Amino acid sequence: MKYYSTRDKNLRSPLKEAVLSGLAPDGGLFMPEEIPIQPLPDLTEKSLLEIAFQIGLPFICEDISESAYGDMIERVFPFDAPLVELDSNLSVLELFHGPTLAFKDFGARFMAELMSYLIRGDDSPLTVLAATSGDTGSAVAHGFLGAPNINVVLLYPSGRVSTLQEKQLTTCGKNITALSVEGSFDDCQRLVKEAFLNTELRKSKRLTSANSINIARLLPQSFYYFRALAQLKKRSDSAVFSVPSGNFGNLTAGILAKKMGAPISRFLAATNQNKIVPEFLRTDLYTPAPSIPTLSNAMDVGNPSNFERLTDLLGDTAKDFAPWITGHFFSDEETLGAIREIQERYEYSLCPHTAVGALALAREQTPGIVLATAHPIKFTEEISRAGLDTSHIKMPEQLKDILNKESTAISMPADKSAFFEFLSEL
């Protein structure tokens, strides 16, 4: 399997180059040259591990043996993605049972294992860069923690992540360095992209990305769409998924799953006030803008990187997107209202991101599945703002000691010269 650039389909690379480069040489994003159709008549019988093996193997089998891949995914997925059916119209796919309590654990752990396998025997160290608006950084940090010959640099917007999120990504130490950037997530993402496009820096450093621009982050996110469908009590050939969306990697993975044969009808792109894609779907104009801080901070993205992959998969116009995706956006006030309503109606707690997904499904008035992207314990301050008592939300084992750990973040201006100098001295 080769991987082509979204900007030039004639520019193709093997798996190792695609994963370790992050971006294609022309600045495009890598995509698989083929999306294998999966025969899944017995989907209900399959566990997450079985699905991960069947779905993932065709994409990497030329580079990894079946036995090595089987061992790899057993290390990656010691947790599941349970589907909770709140009523006949509303189901929630809990993607927060990994070590950092967010859906990013699926992609980050898979990528860390795959990269470690691909660089075995190499002498030169690998530097992994990741911009984070919240949960990506902690998932990448814990996925790569202690990985031999790999250094990780995380960039996050100062003051724009929750207390627990910041603790998770700044307390690892060892081969993990966190940079507190004086700016927005878009500034962090811009710095990462500029680093990859700087030829002098890349001559001295072996760089790759751990954001969803990396194809190794994207592929495993398709697994849990199949896992959700496997758990539905009422079988359907037209499942609707509501996807809380920021950088749009999660929704892009869903499109891949549908193209592989998952019985999905369509997707709801659920955003906060960073409504770039919903506005594109309404006006046919894609207009990036500075990101707006919201309660659902991991979705505060003003220029989603994976939009480039979506246009590659679907086409360039809103008309091309229409059969696949419907867009909705919501305010912080509406988000708090949804958190409160779901808690009062079902005694079930939502993080702000998941609440945005629930709002989109409610607006559509259709049965469907909402992706729950983070554990509510990570957002108790926001849930309290909805007027709710959070004492019933139990602290998972993964977080019990983290608040007592010392943060070691380094302050950094949103300036590429300062960032490049830091990388050159790392």
Which own/partner pairs from 405-410 qualify as long-range (CB within 8 Å, at least 24 positions apart)? Answer: 405/167, 405/171, 406/171, 407/166, 407/167, 407/170, 407/171, 407/178, 408/170, 408/171, 408/173, 408/178, 409/166, 409/170, 409/178, 409/179, 409/180, 410/177, 410/178, 410/179, 410/180
CB atoms within 10 A of CB 425: 6
Query: How high is the pLDDT of residue 21?
Result: 86
Quick check: is 261 in a domain?
A: yes
Residue 31 lies in a domain: no
pLDDT at 136: 81
Q: What is the mean pLDDT of residues 327-345?
A: 97
Using alpha carbons, select from 300, 407, 399 the residue that is nearest to residue 97: 399
Asked if residue 64 is part of any domain, the answer here is yes
User: Which neighbouring-strand residues pair with 32?
Assistant: 3
**CB-CB neighbours of 243 under 10 Å:** 25
Q: What distance in Å separates the CA atoms of residue 194 and residue 425, rounded to the nearest whole number?
A: 17
Cα 298 to chain center, whole Å? 10
Domain-located, residue 41: no
* Same domain assignment for residues 244 and 261: yes
The set of catalytic residues is 104
Query: Do residue 254 and residue 206 come from a single domain?
Result: no
- In this prediction, what percent of the chain has a pLDDT beyond 90? 73
Residue range 261-287, pLDDT digits in tens: 999 999 999 999 999 999 999 999 999
Assigned token pair, 69: 């891949």
Q: What is the mean pLDDT of residues 391-401?
A: 83
> Over the stretch 404-418, which tens digit does the pLDDT of each residue have?
888 899 999 999 999
CA angle 340, 92, 135 (to 5 degrees): 80
Q: Are residues 420 and 293 in the same domain?
A: no
Q: When comparing pLDDT for 100 and 6, which is higher?
A: 6
Same domain, 275 and 295: yes
Considering the domain architecture, whether residues 225 and 329 belong to the same structural domain is answered as: yes
Predicted pLDDT at 232: 85
Is 1 inside any structural domain? no
Tokens for 321?
């997107």
Question: Which pLDDT value is given to residue 236?
Answer: 60
Are 382 and 272 in the same domain? yes
**Does one domain contain both 388 and 271?**
yes
pLDDT digits (tens, 9 = 90+) for 92-111: 999 999 998 999 999 999 99
| Statement to judge: residues 175 and 228 lie in one domain | no
Residue 254 domain-assigned (yes or no): yes
Give me the pLDDT at residue 285, please: 97
302 shares its domain with 349: yes
Residue range 188-239, pLDDT digits in tens: 989 998 998 888 898 888 898 887 789 999 999 999 999 999 998 766 667 9
The overall average pLDDT reported for the chain is 92
Least confident of 103-112, 124-133, 174-183, 245-254: 124-133
Total domains present in the chain: 2
User: What stretches of 133-205 show up as alpha helix (H) in DSSP?
Assistant: 135-144, 163-170, 185-197, 199-204
**Which residue shows structure tokens 């609707």?**
240
**Are 57 and 84 within one domain?**
no
44: Cβ contacts below 8 Å, ≥ 6 apart:
230, 235
Is residue 200 domain-resident?
A: yes
CA-nearest of 256, 178, 176, 243 to 217 is 256
Q: How confident is the model at residue 42 (pLDDT cuts 50, 70, 90)?
A: low
Residue 59 pLDDT > 80: yes
Measure the CA–CA gap between 47 and 51, rounded to whole angstroms.
6
List the CATH number of the domain containing 369: 3.40.50.1100
User: CA geometry: angle at 35 spanning 115 and 61, to 5°?
Assistant: 45
Looking at the structure, tell me whether residues 151 and 201 fall in a common domain: yes
213: tokens are 């621009």
Tell whether 162 and 278 lie within a shared domain. no
Residue 187 lies in a domain: yes
185: containing domain: 49-71+104-217+406-425
